[in-house]
Structures are given as structure tokens and as C-alpha cells.
Structure 1
């Protein structure tokens, strides 16, 4: 009888401890996931604060300056993305680059249309700056994982600057049609920035 009670007690204890172990493991996983989500949120908030700071520190460009900056940013993005399609190693980076070609081609069309309806009408100048040409030349020297790292890091920087410019112009720009276009483009740039940050991890 005592032996039977001892066996039953031992079985109950084993089940209880097993359950505790499983609960502890689940709790640990939940805490780890929560910590990871909190870190991601904090990182995104800090990065968005940087965009806000950049926006606050940069004077709002006039209409022609805005369309030129938007156009050469799009041209740079498309050129860098084409490099990524041949030099990148990661399928995720190549997919991001394909997304950039489409999105920045669309953005160029939107800015051109808005500039054409402005009064007076404007024509964007998409000529790359010396810095943009230098950056492309540096990227072109890299291949594989080294390229992936450099390209995505640059994409985070470029999209932070572009987002600050679009938000600022949408809020304070001097040409209504361009303000509307900037307001429509800004959320798309935010998505690209978030995507680039996720790849940068």
C-alpha cells in the first residue's frame, strides 16, 4: 500500500515538475519575444526621431530644388538597385532592389506629373551629384555579402533623408501640386525605410 502511494506521489511530482518546466520554457520564450519586439520598437522610434531631427534642421527647399532632389534621389536609387541585382548575394536584398526600381520609377513619374501642373511648370533635373556618383562607384567594387551590407546600410541612410524631405515639403512646401505628391510619396518611403532597417539587422 505504502509502495503504491509512493509510486503515485512520485508520478504526480514528475508531472508537476514537467509542467513547471514547460511553463518556464514558454515564459522564457515569451519574455525573449517581448524583449525582441520592445528592442525593435525602440530602434524604430529612435530612427524616426533621427528623421524628425533631420527634417527640423534642414530648410524647406523651393519647388525647383525639391523636384531636382527628388529626381536625382530616384535616379540614384534605381542605379544602386540595378547594381544590387548583379552584385548582391542575398535573395532578400535582390528582391528589395527590384522593389526599389519599380517604386522609384513610379515616384519619378508622380513628381514629373506634379511639376508639369505647377505654375510655372517645372522640369526635374535628375543629374546625379558627385557624392552619389562616388557612392555608386564604391558599391560597384563590392560583391556578395560585402555588397549586401554596404548597399542596405546606404539604403537606410538615403531613405531617412528622403523621408525627412518628403514630410517637410508636404507640410511646408511652396507649390500645392508638389506638396500633394510629397504627401503621397512619404508613406511609401517610410515602408522602404522600415524594410531596409529590417534587412540591416
Structure 2
């Protein structure tokens, strides 16, 4: 059956439209994109909780003000993230990771100067990890909307890290990598310090193993 020119043109335009729309409909955030979104959301939740703990328990204005900054900034970042997740069909966790919860519990179990020192140490470690995760997303992510979120978060997270590093000497907190040696233990954060040192030793062991394999 022959189609009239108008019907044929309509069919052609419709077909082109469907073909053009098909890739968009099939496109989805990669596993890397989804992993970063989940991690970033949990990080935001953890930082908001940490900020609330600082406002409630800190013994200095410095830590209280940093805590309020975390609440404000990470709430804003998370609003954009959750909106994008809804749009992209990505399901996000509802709580921080068990490790993040345990780390904050260890900090909130202290008080006074020990709390302030432990809190600053935790923020240095947490924000360094967040920056590293964002760099991985920017390098390996595939969904531009997600990469844009990582790019927008980076300067905010860097600012938080810079503020924590600037405050660290006031509380006797080491700023080198890995953080958490005897200085933290002396301020009542031995469990957090041991965890961070352990992570650092693991990295050293892994690096050493790679060197041996290369020489072999």
C-alpha cells in the first residue's frame, strides 16, 4: 500500500524522532556514577550529623562554627544530589555507612578538648576521602550530570578540608598523611588514630607488594 507524501513524511519524522530518543531513554548512569552518588550521599549525611554533633558538643567556637558550616553546605550539596538521583532513577542509601557511624560515635563519646581534637581529625580524614572519590568520578564517570555534581562539590569539600587543616594546630592534630598518630591518641582519640594508622600501613604494604611484583 502506497502512503501519501504527507503520511510518508510524518512516518519518517516520527521514525527519526524515535531513533533520536532511543539512546537517551536507554542511557543510564554507569556503575561508577551510581557508586559515587551513593558514596557522596552517605558522606553528606555523615557530615551533617558530624556538624550537628559539633554544634551540640564542641568546647570551642572554632569547632562549633565549622560544624554549622558543614550542616549548611552539605545540606545544599545533598539537595542537588538527591534531585539528580531521582531524575536519573538512582536509589540512594538512607544512612551513613556503618564505619562513618562508628567513627562519629567514637568522637561523640569524648568531651571537651578531646572532642574538639577528635572531631577535627575525623573531618580531615573524611574530607580527604571525599575529595579522592570525587576525583575518581571526574576521571572515570560517564554521566555528565553526575560528573557536574562531583565538580561542583569539589571546591566546597576542599574549603572544608582547608578550614579543618588550618584549625588542626590549635587542637594538636597532625595534618600529615596518614593522619592519626600519637598526637591524636594523647587527646583521647586512640581508636580513631589506630584505625587511620592501620589504613596507612595497609597502603604501604600494598605499595610494597606491587614493587616486589614489578621487580620479579
TM-score higher than 0.5 here? yes
> Alignment partner for residue 59 of structure 2, among 89, 99, 103?
89
Gap runs ≥5 in structure 2: 1-29, 170-216
Q: Does 1:74 align with 2:64?
A: no
Deviation at 1:188, TM superposition (A): 0.9
State how far apart, in whole Å, the 2-side matches of 1:70 and 1:61 are: 14
SS in 1 for 2:90: coil
* CA 142–110 in structure 1, closer or farther in 2 if over 3 Å, else same: same
Deviation at 1:174, TM superposition (A): 2.2
Deviation at 1:98, TM superposition (A): 0.2
* CA 84–177 in structure 1, closer or farther in 2 if over 3 Å, else same: same
Structure 1 runs of 4+ with >6 Å offset: none
Deviation at 1:101, TM superposition (A): 0.2
Deviation at 1:135, TM superposition (A): 1.2
Partner of 2:166: 198
State how far apart, in whole Å, the 1-side matches of 2:100 and 2:165 are: 21
> Alignment partner for residue 126 of structure 2, among 137, 158, 161?
158
State how far apart, in whole Å, the 2-side matches of 1:85 and 1:64 are: 32
SS in 1 for 2:93: coil
* CA 170–130 in structure 1, closer or farther in 2 if over 3 Å, else same: same
> Alignment partner for residue 125 of structure 1, among 82, 89, 93?
93
RCO comparison, higher one (Cα < 8 Å, 6+): 1
Partner of 1:141: 109
Provide the TM-score with structure 2 as the length reference.
0.61
Partner of 1:105: 75
Larger radius of gyration: 1
Aligned 1:161-180 pairs, distance under 5 A:
161-180=129-148
Equivalent pair of 2:44/2:77 in contact (CA under 8 Å): yes
Deviations 1:60-84 (A, max 9, x none): 9622211111111111111111111
State how far apart, in whole Å, the 2-side matches of 1:116 and 1:84 are: 31
Aligned length: 140
Instruction: Provide the alpha-carbon RMSD of the alignment.
Output: 1.6
Deviations 1:108-160 (A, max 9, x none): 11111222333xx2132132222112112211211111100000011000000
Aligned 1:4-83 pairs, distance under 5 A:
62-83=32-53
